[in-house]
Structure 1
């Protein structure tokens, strides 16, 4: 076999292996909670999981153990599902992940969802900021969180920010340094006390931080109405408030890329087949030419031989 044909066949095998690998790779699902992932004790919460249109089954795991399953019969789409509504308690607060099944395979687990219960303790922490709630651009500020009931961990959250909270350790108080501040730091802050990463105290009263620019004008951040301790304070806003965009349906991209690879593989196979036919034709042509030359040589030798004497 010629080196070119060998290279084409090797390329085709590589493409085929890539298609097989892509078929066995499932997208990681997305998980979130409504109305929020940080909610008061006794509040109802719904956990959502989003995979792809090809999903036929979803599973919800609570700290490593299966919590719920959702199955769906074809042809109804099952790209996004909800699991049974939970009442947030000491026993249901914790870390959740979800998975989905498609084509006989299970996806990788989603990013973890920390479901946090607030209002566990009777005391409410107090939050203050130094040198004051209004500072100039580039200054350093310090948040002080204090609670009467002894605890071991404090959390500081900026309202509306979906990222993880700042965490400090202390018995009755903790200090959160911040700075140099920018306009991104302006907003409303609260703090919590906790013995458990998933069970917190009531939130403190809000503290609004204003940042003054070089022109001396302040840039106040809009503040939501202050809820009572029994209300939901949406530290991780719902999908509507955050402008949540569902995870892009990358399955369409996977199908497109697989189709392109299949077309490329078919072209490679066609070229390899044509090359093989050309090689066979050339070999036959060379064989006929050698046979023709050999026949001509035998005829010339026969004519040049002397006749036998009788």
Structure 2
């Protein structure tokens, strides 16, 4: 390549980069719901679109209805089901439009009766243990969401009709806190039930248990000497001690057999319950409340 062609190529490349920088996409804005995107029925929420300084025009879109407004802030005085759904926003500088923001899913809660949240086997869990949070509804919902106070997003789960299980394995202190769940239908994903009553999950600390030394165990005797040596001596095991040990072993075997029987009965009852659910008829959802005009 000749020097003149090389210079022209470099000049064109530089000009192309400058033009690309000038015509490049504007940074996308952010869209937030204040105080939260889970809005109780007939309460106020504010949608706020935030872009860089000096924006000429904002546009806020309701993707469910296809309508938009040229504003950065929208105050909804009373939240209703027809206002729920996905929203996004963008802005204009000169003749250029920015990329749209991430979608904000605005959900109205309190449309249906609240579900029940329980912890199995117990809301008090030792570190390293397992617990399952069980959300149950009297209606035939197929979607459930579990929230922990302070977390940004939910854990969603689907299970059999009327219920969902959220297992937490290898529990740590970070899992302790207040939980509540919602139920809703996949056909109306932005209309949720009222939240369940709060459930407090407590992660208990480990304790050290001091036990007495059994009668047949070695005992420590310290004899005074120049080197202060500790000598362990064993007491002779009497026939009475052997008989006592046999009695304790037999008692432990009886308790073990009793516990196995309880577990077998529980497994059989759970199996019958699941078979009943499989044969259950899918109950309809409750009707939507009427919005007052």
Correspondence for 2:95 among 104, 129, 135? 104
CA pair 120-213 structure 1, distance change in 2 beyond 3 A: same
TM-superposition CA deviations, 1:232-282 (whole Å, max 9, x none): xxxxxxxxxxxxxxxxxxxxxxxxxxxxxxxxxxxxxxxxxxxxxxxxxxx
Aligned residue for 1:37? 37
Distance of 1:84 and 1:18 partners within structure 2 = 42
Q: How many angstroms does 1:66 deviate by? A: 2.9
Contact conserved, 1:59 with 1:66, CA < 8 A, in 2? Answer: no
- Whether 2:182 is the aligned partner of 1:192: answer yes
Contact 1:156 1:166 in 2 (8 A): yes
Of 136, 143, 154, which aligns to 1:146?
Answer: 136
Cα separation, 2, equivalents of 1:206 and 1:159: 9
Task: Indicate how the Cα distance of structure 1 residues 147 and 15 shifts in structure 2: closer, same or farther if over 3 A, else same.
Answer: same
SS at match of 1:198: strand
SS in 2 for 1:119: strand
Structure number with the bigger relative contact order (C-alpha 8 A, sep ≥ 6) is: 1
TM-score, reference length from structure 2: 0.64
Query: How large is the Cα RMSD of the aligned pairs?
Result: 2.2
Distance in 2 (CA, whole Å) between partners of 1:186 and 1:11 is 62
Cα separation, partners in 2 of 1:170 and 1:22, compared to 1, 3 Å? farther
- Measured after TM superposition, the shift of residue 113 of structure 1 is 0.5
Rounded to whole Å, the distance in 2 between the matches of 1:59 and 1:170 is 41
Per the alignment, do residues 156 and 129 of structure 1 end up closer, same or farther by CA in structure 2, a change over 3 Å counting? same
The 8 Å contact of residues 45 and 75 in structure 2, kept in 1 or not, is answered as no
| SS across alignment from 2:17 | helix
> Displacement of 1:215 after TM fit?
7.0
Structure 1: stretches of 5+ with no match in the other structure: 71-80, 217-310
Shift of 1:53: 1.4
Task: State whether residues 30 and 49 of structure 2, in contact with CA within 8 Å, keep that contact through their aligned partners in structure 1.
Answer: yes
* 2:283 aligned residue: none
Cα distance, 1:151 vs structure 2:
2.0
Larger radius of gyration: 1
Query: 1:97, 1:32 → 2: CA distance?
Result: 10
Q: CA deviation at 1:44?
A: 1.4
Where does structure 2 lack aligned partners over 5 or more consecutive residues? Answer: 209-293
User: In structure 2, what is the equivalent of residue 83 of structure 1?
Assistant: 74
CA distance in 1, matches of 2:78, 2:18: 44
Distance 1:16 1:179, change over 3 A: farther
Superposition pairs of residues 195-210 of structure 1, within 5 angstroms: 195=185, 196-210=188-202
Counterparts of 1:52-201 in structure 2, within 5 Å, are 52-63=52-63, 65-70=66-71, 81-121=72-112, 123-195=113-185, 196-201=188-193
Work out whether residues 132 and 167 of structure 2, in 8 Å CA contact, stay in contact via their aligned partners in 1. Answer: yes
Q: Is residue 2:7 matched to residue 1:17? A: no
Tell me the alpha carbon deviations over residues 57-91 of structure 1, each in whole angstroms, 9 at most, x when there is no partner. Answer: 11111126132112xxxxxxxxxx31243531110
What TM-score does the superposition give when structure 1 sets the normalisation length? 0.60
Structure 1, residues 111-131: CA drift from partner, whole Å, max 9, x if none? 11011111111x221101122
